Amino acid sequence: MSVDVQQLAINYLELDEQALSKAHYRPALVTPTAAVAHLVEQLHLAYNGKPAKGYAAFSADKDPQVASVLGDWQKQNSDFMVLANTATAALEQQLQAHQLPESGYLLICHYRYLASDYLLFCLLGSKDHFSLTEELELATSRHLDIARMQLAARIDLTEYQSSPEQGKYISFIRGRAGRKVADFFLDFLGCEEGTDAKANSKVVLASVEEYFAAADFDSTEKNDARKQVYSYCEERAKAGQDVVLTELSAVIDEQEQQGFLRYCQEQQLQVAEQFPVEVKELKKLIKFSGQGAGLSLSFEQKLLGDRVQYDPHSDTLLIKGTPPNLRDQLQRFIQGYSAFDRAEPGAE
């Protein structure tokens, strides 16, 4: 199902001679067209696909600019241009305050997807693309770099109106390590971080494994259930939706669909009725992986105790049966470097 674009504003932030962000405002909203709808759909999918997000809510202790103008717009006391331009000015101020030399196109979009209304803020860079005309003349065009979306936040307007007390109607991309992306986006929106998707995911991991042990699942049942849980959570995350505890319970145990739900209630486990998750963290349900000191390893969890044996006392892994391409490299290396020089049949 495609997104339903309501309104889109685009402003531009450039760096001045002092490397400070300076806003330039588009005089009117972007006219909705099929191309605009396709653009917003790509933004929606790109945003949902980002694995590491934070969740927040407006705070009385932060700058109320965005929250105030958002309230006026929702009450129809001001138009979308006022909301977009006020937000752009607030972002410009925070970029300068945090001394972050960011430039790009700020897109502020109100759209609907399924039963929810969203307000998306994203600062996108651009790339120059080259092409040739029929006369072999070089031509250039500038494209929005959606694939590298890093500076973005989204307000779930439907949840903001229906259940603001849950404190997770604002989500934002955490961004690259070592940058104050989360800090200045929280300040820009005037909010404080609340629900922790990564922490939620760890609770789910621990609770599911506890339930497997209590319900006496055998190894095959556990592996099948883990795959189902991961697939369900991944699907919800990609759609930008929360995991629902009752649905998760049915996925975990098809024979006793409310078994996990009752177990959480009886054991007083801290699992909310509805919550966001971080897919990267839940990957541990089906795969072990890690790297460091020149070594990188990953294998499916079902292999542990079978093809892969781990001795915790000596911190040793024993792997029976290596992947063919790895085995070929190892055998060639053991035979001597000359093995690398022998041409394969048909090779030049």
From its phi and psi, is residue 31 left (phi > 0), alpha (psi between -120 and 50) or beta?
Answer: beta
CA 47, CA 40: separation in Å to the nearest integer? 10
Tokens describing residue 3: 């997104």
pTM of the model: 0.72
- In this predicted structure, what is the pLDDT of residue 332? 84
| Predicted pLDDT at 338 | 56
Which spans in the chain are helix H? 34-49, 65-74, 80-97, 157-162, 181-189, 197-214, 219-238, 245-252, 259-266, 279-282, 324-335, 338-341
> Range with the lowest mean pLDDT among 66-80, 157-171, 193-207?
193-207
210, 267 contact by CB (below 8 A): yes
| pLDDT above 90 for 120 | yes
Q: pLDDT, tens digit, for every residue of 59-82?
A: 888 888 999 999 999 999 999 999
